[in-house]
Structure 1
Amino acid sequence: MRSPVLRAASLAAALVLPALPATAQDSEERTAPETAMPETDMLETGGSFLDTFEAEQLDRERWYVAEGWVNTPDHDCTWSATALSKPGDRLIFEIEREPTAERDFVCAEVQSTEVYGHGTYEVRMRASDAPGTLAAFFTYTGPYFGDPHDEIDIELPGARPESVELNTWVDGDDFGGPDEITPGFDASRDFHDYAFEWTPDAIRFFVDGEQVGEVTDPAQIPTSPGKIFLTLYSGRGAYEPWLGRFRESESVPTMAVERVAYTAPGEPCQFPESIVCEGGR
């Protein structure tokens, strides 16, 4: 295993945060530590923000780092802050061999400390190209938080780096959302902008400022505010038909994130490339 890039002691200290279980599919099956987590009033949602990760340390008030548990039997890695680093103005998520009581590999995930509702969600990221891995940007809430399982996903499977999967869950039902799309580039080669706009009547998905999908069926539109997640993990078992089989290699699977933003309805755009801006689409 190669040495983590620019993982300074001060960063490691900044990333070790109170454990909060993370999630995506089959979240209710996860194994989570019995540690107290801050209570969140799901009726009070967070306001607009733009994080370009320019600060020396990860913003503890905005982000939690998943640490010390496995989501489901089909996740092939344990969440660990050691798989997350911040070289300069970006976050790096990795999958590395570091045996724990549950798994032989560790992987990284961060989640927002607040919940967010209707508005525009945007990320600039570069995905992994390793089969068996998934890089994702999504919102989620579910039974662990005392809510129905509602979710909006932008998923980038390493086995198919030229495709983007768009998805919604409502009260535990997976609706699949728009069909898997092929935007015409390899998501693991360079950074691209991914976004979705969530309103009471629709969810619209965007890649590099162009709309690529839309959900308008009320039954397929989540209603519960959720936390924002950024994640890279490896799968096994039931996930193999979807993600492929993860195999360890000399190249460490990596996801990089340069920017995350949430813009509340009616708020002005926060950066020139935003789809909220007049010229952003």
Structure 2
Amino acid sequence: MKLSLAAALLGALAVSAQTSTECNPLKQKCPADPALAGSADFGLTSESPRFHATGGTPTYGNDGASLTIGKRFDAPKLTSDFYIMFGYVEWEIKAAPGKGIVSSAVLLSDCLDEIDWEFLGGDPNQVQSNFFGKGDTTTYDRVKFHPAPNNNQEFHKYAVDWTADKTTFYIDGQNVRELTPDAAKGQYPQTPMRVLAGSWAGGDPSNNQGTIEWAGGETDFSKVPFTMFVKSIKVTDYSTGKEYVYKDMTGKWESIQAVDGQVNKSGKPGSGPKVESSTLPSSPSTSAHVPVHTVPGGGIGNPQAPNTGSSPSNTLTNGPSSTMTSLVGLPSSWIVTETGTGGVVTPTSAAESTSHHSDYTSRSSRSVSSSVSASSGNGGHGMTTSTGSGSAPTGTGSLPGSGSGSAPGYPVPTGTNGGGSNNPTDGGASPTSPAMQAPGSTGAIHSVSNALLLSFCAIAAWALV
């Protein structure tokens, strides 16, 4: 696929690995990460309690979990309730077909270290491998392209063997790429990771043109359903213990502590104690906190999709604040703040807005309130922020239309690579664009009486639900 430089730069604003973090341990003290501490084979012919579904309701059968985009803004994904600290993960996948449809298999940490497999529905003979360190999307030379014939008609196994010294990508057991810390130029993923899989519509017409071109063109939703199948996920955690703790804010693997265990730099797939794939962690401190997916992640999820797995929530947080940082994969009309107060910014249509369901409750029972647009247009958007202190939303403002003022996004290919090269800079992916902050209440002093009235009404309505 060849893209113009302009398309690459536009795509940089909207796509990368649709991920976010609720609590970034490089910026604040965060809850410990529950460890898998062993190996498990998750056959997904039936629902697994170790994976949470959001953005849609999966079905299960002989072909595993069916993650279906059945209408606009569907973005089904599975996210593990455990972490691994170096390890091996193998996804058996049949990617979703459809122009503009993106399927993904992802490893993601709380501080936005990330390792990805990405499939474009309009190109069924190729898969992309990618990585990010600490959410850094300032370069677009990390993606590589690998032959993957009939990937949306046949099941294939896509694996990552992640160690302190090297990350190896495999397709059906064949080594197609190796990445070392030196080659990663300081961006080597090295913090505890979750396991994810899912799909979203990069070709949604509300996305900016660069995103749509990267995804292969505008999605025709009259041709739904588009289904990604995940038959199984095999996981080995090379480290041991109950949970993983960041001892400092460096983000180095040496700073990770394994509680009642040890961090191992490497291991062997399938090694360690066998973990029952249907058994939840027993430690009270391991109630899973899941990254806030108000934006797409690793190619997983659309921020405008309501959560079908939980009831609506406008709960504002108390205690430690949540922080959204370096949100990759953000459609152009979405922005985030990084104020240190847990503000999460999502757009509201000038004509219409709906309550966004809280995707998850974190390990410390935190949730974030946000609102989303039900509009499919690309016109100007308003935005609101929610603080992490339990107060009512504050601050309003307006943004340019789609394609400007957006947060970092998916890498956009600018070249091709046959795969197998050890040079992580082959090919191109476009990353970069600073996150924008929501305006505070200062600019709304002239309408303070209306704002107070609306706030009291909102608080009263919230208290009644």
TM-score by length of 1: 0.68
1:18-62 deviations in Å (ceiling 9; x for gaps)? xxxxx97353499xxxxxxxx8513745431101124xx4121x1
After superposing the two structures, state which structure 1 stretch, 225-234 or 42-51, moved more. 42-51
Q: Which amino acid aligns with 2:187?
A: Q
Aligned to 2:47: 58
Q: Residue 86 of structure 1: CA displacement?
A: 0.5
Contact 1:178 1:215 in 2 (8 A): no
Structure 2 counterpart SS, 1:262? strand
Give the Cα–Cα distance (whole angstroms) in 1 for the partners of residues 268 and 64 of structure 2: 25
Q: Residue 241 of structure 1: CA displacement?
A: 2.1
Aligned to 1:71: none
User: Runs of 5+ in structure 1 lacking a partner?
Assistant: 1-22, 31-38, 67-78, 98-103, 143-147, 271-281
Aligned to 1:35: none
Aligned to 1:208: 172
Structure 2 counterpart SS, 1:231? strand
Give the Cα–Cα distance (whole angstroms) in 2 for the partners of residues 194 and 41 of structure 1: 29
Structure 1 counterpart SS, 2:223? coil
Contact 2:21 2:112 in 1 (8 A): no
Give the Cα–Cα distance (whole angstroms) in 2 for the partners of residues 208 and 25 of structure 1: 23
| Identity across matched positions, percent | 23
Q: Which amino acid aligns with 2:123?
A: R
Contact 1:178 1:213 in 2 (8 A): no
1:200-254 deviations in Å (ceiling 9; x for gaps)? 0111100011001111134232111121001011123232121021111335111
Distance of aligned partners of 1:264 and 1:149 in 2 relative to their CA distance in 1, 3 Å threshold: closer
1:82-121 deviations in Å (ceiling 9; x for gaps)? xx11023611011012xxxxxx432311100011121111
Q: Name the Cα RMSD after superposition.
A: 2.5
Give the Cα–Cα distance (whole angstroms) in 2 for the partners of residues 226 and 217 of structure 1: 17
Give the Cα–Cα distance (whole angstroms) in 1 for the partners of residues 133 and 227 of structure 2: 30
Q: Which amino acid aligns with 1:252?
A: P
2:59 pairs with 85, 90, 93, which one?
Answer: 85
Contact 1:96 1:107 in 2 (8 A): no
Contact 1:52 1:258 in 2 (8 A): yes
Distance of aligned partners of 1:151 and 1:53 in 2 relative to their CA distance in 1, 3 Å threshold: same
1:186 pairs with 150, 166, 169, which one?
Answer: 150
* 1:117 and 2:85 are equivalent in the alignment: yes
* 1:241 and 2:213 are equivalent in the alignment: yes
Aligned to 2:233: 260
TM-score by length of 2: 0.42
Give the 5 Å matches for 1:116-195.
Answer: 116-142=84-110, 148-174=111-137, 176-177=141-142, 179-183=144-148, 185-195=149-159
Distance of aligned partners of 1:132 and 1:92 in 2 relative to their CA distance in 1, 3 Å threshold: same
Report the number of matched residues: 211
Q: Which amino acid aligns with 2:175?
A: Q
Give the Cα–Cα distance (whole angstroms) in 2 for the partners of residues 44 and 85 of structure 1: 27
Contact 1:202 1:221 in 2 (8 A): no
Structure 1 counterpart SS, 2:212? helix
Contact 2:81 2:194 in 1 (8 A): yes
Contact 1:196 1:203 in 2 (8 A): yes
Q: Which amino acid aligns with 1:92?
A: S
Give the Cα–Cα distance (whole angstroms) in 2 for the partners of residues 25 and 105 of structure 1: 17
Give the Cα–Cα distance (whole angstroms) in 2 for the partners of residues 189 and 268 of structure 1: 27
Contact 2:134 2:187 in 1 (8 A): no
2:19 pairs with 14, 27, 39, which one?
Answer: 27
Give the Cα–Cα distance (whole angstroms) in 1 for the partners of residues 65 and 161 of structure 2: 23
User: Runs of 5+ in structure 2 lacking a partner?
Assistant: 1-14, 23-29, 239-266, 272-465
Q: Which amino acid aligns with 1:25?
A: A
Give the 5 Å matches for 1:270-281.
Answer: none
Give the Cα–Cα distance (whole angstroms) in 2 for the partners of residues 29 and 192 of structure 1: 30
Give the Cα–Cα distance (whole angstroms) in 1 for the partners of residues 73 and 124 of structure 2: 22
Give the 5 Å matches for 1:214-229.
Answer: 214-218=178-182, 219-229=186-196
Structure 1 counterpart SS, 2:96? coil
Q: Which amino acid aligns with 1:263?
A: T
Distance of aligned partners of 1:29 and 1:249 in 2 relative to their CA distance in 1, 3 Å threshold: farther
Distance of aligned partners of 1:133 and 1:268 in 2 relative to their CA distance in 1, 3 Å threshold: closer
Contact 1:177 1:215 in 2 (8 A): no
Q: Residue 168 of structure 1: CA displacement?
A: 0.5
Aligned to 2:372: none
